[in-house]
Amino acid sequence: MTNTNIQLTSTISADNKLTVALNNVAMPQPGTEEVVVRIEAAPLNPSDLAIMFSVADMNTATQSGTAQQPVITADVPAKFMPAVKTRVGKAMSVGNEGAGVVVAAGSSPGAQALLGKTVAVIGGGTYQQYVCVHVQSCLELNEGTTAKEGASSFVNPLTALAMVETMRAEGHKAIIHAAAASSLGQMLNRICIADGIDLVNIVRKDEQETLLRNMGAKYVVNSSKESFRSDLIAAIVETGATIAFDPIGGGTLTSDILNCMEAAITHDSTEYNVYGSGTLKQVYIYGALDRGPITLHRNFGFAWNVSGFLLFNALGKLSQETVMAMRKRVAAEITTTFASHYTHEVSLAGALHMESIAAYSKQATGEKYLITPQA
Amino acid sequence: MTNTNIQLTSTISADNKLTVALNNVAMPQPGTEEVVVRIEAAPLNPSDLAIMFSVADMNTATQSGTAQQPVITADVPAKFMPAVKTRVGKAMSVGNEGAGVVVAAGSSPGAQALLGKTVAVIGGGTYQQYVCVHVQSCLELNEGTTAKEGASSFVNPLTALAMVETMRAEGHKAIIHAAAASSLGQMLNRICIADGIDLVNIVRKDEQETLLRNMGAKYVVNSSKESFRSDLIAAIVETGATIAFDPIGGGTLTSDILNCMEAAITHDSTEYNVYGSGTLKQVYIYGALDRGPITLHRNFGFAWNVSGFLLFNALGKLSQETVMAMRKRVAAEITTTFASHYTHEVSLAGALHMESIAAYSKQATGEKYLITPQA
């Protein structure tokens, strides 16, 4: 174990500047219930970008420093400063998850048992070479699973599983998923096929429809088509889906989904009800791919919820048993059901090159970056 | 008991015409568990207008017939016809609630016990002279309570009480109410004062603020003022309100409320959380005073729900005991806590005069019409 540790941090200063840079930091020392993980691979998720670049105007971004120690700076519009006031002047660590080998462990049996093991970790700022985390933030990967294979063991897999468990807990029988060709969407598709749950996939492009159909998806509707609404209504009539998950938020998709649910629920009703159907229609918004306003055109009666959905909140509503079973399933199926596909690998320094930033900031469906901090 | 019964009905025809008229219909005969109530008074609530005039363009409305038998006709825009297809060709009865004297009763003891009593009723189409309803749809009014006093015993009183019970059941400790100077808002204000619950009243006009303050309201914020947002945040900081009820829907008020809740929750926090606070922020939309789109500008994190709120759905989530206690309280306090103030009284025919329609269709806060079908 070397003595150098490089960490990517993001800082917003009081004079409206964002700085993202690599720092040499101390090698962490594990507490009793902690381990130090040498991070081999960490994915770039949308939630990581929200910390890394925050509310900065990335059109103003410039790269300075050296190729090995790049520094990104950008302006933060004054109007957004109040929203980030509690992080001003603090060097925020970045990286929600990753995987690597446990190279040091605290004295507790739980920590010691992980020594030398390849684990996935959640939290702690994984965009660094060595991260110190609590034992419970580790998922031991099965023999033969590599760190790269296990790098995305938490955010997408547990979110996809939490969607299914939420559907069950709230009494729905099929799911609608928007931006369904994403890594998460592909996982959800595999879970639903395996578990016999009807899933209505909403995509925007023909090739995304093809991708999902080739993966066995039965219901795929394309929101770019003229026939989108009638296609979606038909799929809801067939599946009975009354819960949806939407990572986009901004715009009218959530509204469209609710209106199509209501149209499907009432499509063969002969009774008029001025308040709409009594069937609860639920849309969870779990991301902000479109940060614009969410616009709801109400033709869906009074039995509806639109809610934020956050993995940690959702897990908190599930039993400890259910969550443990979810983690076990992820470890067992990390190279199948929960496999992630990365289109690019970059070092910590490479993640701070302008051309990489321009590419992964698009958050294009099907494009996914993996950071390899040891490279 | 006379043999004539006049009923107000609303019909949409297949050729896009709305007709609202008075009809001579048969005197109803009660079943075993039913009673016939001679309706003395029935309020005009927004939900009644939604049945009576539905999606017709009331700018095209014309009055024909006679002064005693007026007929209102109006065009229904073609684009709205699909939404009302299940009521086409059906003469819909109108009137969600009212009160009067039981003049006939079925053979069951429960029905017989109500004979001669003054009762409030829910459902059945109260815009007629004699309505037949199930015993359970009746609330026996206390000795001395008049039908006019008891005419609004269900919709507003139970909705206001259901808001308080929903607050309790969902673990909130104070309430925000929009359009707070309404009849319902005044009831809610009186309930909250009596029960020691902090209520933040949102109004649009100075005189509404004065009205509520004179009724003892502690927190009143005016959404027309420059300082609205900071006033609302301050009120939420003081009260800890994390649940709101909004009868407007369209526009950005729901969004403003959520953002002010989040600002209040995080106002003294020093920790940055990219996902926003973990405190659930709930807004229930219980009306459609503005039928335009609901527009949510998200700066309120991921712990939020925006939901439709309908009295019958809300009651369904409460225990039978709670609902019985609510009804008892309404009967006991119908001339105090739950008193309604009517600015106009009209006969069934008078309700179909153009000048009345123009007035009550505005649904202006503080204006309320009472129909007296025996006049």
Angle CA A56–A62–A63, to nearest 5: 120
Q: Cβ separation of B302 and A313 shorter than 8 Å?
A: yes
Hey, how many other C-beta atoms are within 10 angstroms of the C-beta on A364? 11
Distance from CA of A53 to the nearest CA of B (A): 11
What pLDDT, on the 0 to 100 scale, is given for residue B2?
Answer: 60
Q: Cβ separation of A295 and B291 shorter than 8 Å?
A: no
Percent of chain A scored above 90 by pLDDT? 89
The answer to whether domain A5-152+341-371 has CATH 3.50.50.60 is no
Chain A CB contacts of B302 below 8 Å: 286, 308-310, 313
Q: Domain-by-domain residue ranges, chain A?
A: 5-152+341-371, 156-316
User: What count of CB pairs under 8 Å joins A to B?
Assistant: 99
Condensed to tens digits (0 to 9), the pLDDT of residues B94-128 reads: 999 999 999 999 999 999 999 999 999 998 899 99
Q: Which residues of A touch B (CB under 8 A)?
A: 47, 50-51, 54, 83-84, 86-87, 90, 92, 249, 255, 266, 269-275, 278, 286, 288, 291, 293-310, 312-313
Chain B CB contacts of A81 below 8 Å: none
Chain B CB contacts of A302 below 8 Å: 286, 308-310, 313
**pTM (two decimals):** 0.91
Residue of B nearest to A90 (CA): B272
Quick one: tokens of B363? Answer: 């649904």
**pLDDT under 70: residue ranges of chain B:** 1-2
What pLDDT, on the 0 to 100 scale, is given for residue B61?
Answer: 96
Q: Cβ separation of A298 and B51 shorter than 8 Å?
A: no
Which of A296, A305, A313 shows the shortest C-beta gap to B303?
A313
- For residues A302 and B285, give the distance between their C-alpha atoms in angstroms, rounded to a whole number: 8
Distance from CA of A304 to the nearest CA of B (A): 5
What are the b/e assignments for A164-192, b being 16+ CB within 10 Å? bbbbeeeebebbbbbbbbbbbbbbbbbbb
B271 class by beta-carbon count within 10 Å (0-12 exposed, 13-18 middle, 19+ buried): exposed
What pLDDT, on the 0 to 100 scale, is given for residue A253?
Answer: 98
Beta strand pairing call for B17-25 and B70-75: antiparallel
Q: Name every residue whose Cβ is closer than 8 Å to that of residue B82 and which is 6 or more positions away in sequence.
A: none
**CATH number listed for the domain at residues A156-316:** 3.40.50.720
Quick one: tokens of B115? Answer: 């004979």
* Amino acid code (one letter) for A113: A
Beta strand pairing call for A198-203 and A174-178: parallel
What pLDDT, on the 0 to 100 scale, is given for residue B274?
Answer: 87
Q: Cβ separation of A293 and B294 shorter than 8 Å?
A: no
- Do B126 and B95 meet the contact criterion of CB atoms below 8 Å apart? yes
pLDDT digit string (tens) for chain A, length 375 residues: 567 899 999 999 999 999 999 999 999 999 999 999 999 999 999 889 999 999 999 999 999 999 899 999 999 999 999 889 999 999 999 999 999 999 999 999 999 999 999 999 998 899 999 999 999 999 999 999 999 999 999 999 999 999 999 999 999 999 999 999 998 999 999 999 999 999 999 999 999 999 999 999 999 999 999 999 999 999 999 999 999 999 999 999 999 999 999 999 999 888 888 899 999 999 999 999 999 999 999 999 999 999 999 998 999 999 999 999 999 999 999 999 999 989 999 999 999 999 999 999 887 777 889 999 999
What pLDDT, on the 0 to 100 scale, is given for residue A365?
Answer: 72
Quick one: tokens of B305? Answer: 């729900």
Q: Cβ separation of A298 and B307 shorter than 8 Å?
A: no
Residue of A nearest to B284 (CA): A305
Which of B47, B249, B272 shows the shortest C-beta gap to A298?
B249
What pLDDT, on the 0 to 100 scale, is given for residue A1?
Answer: 52
Q: Cβ separation of B51 and A249 shorter than 8 Å?
A: no
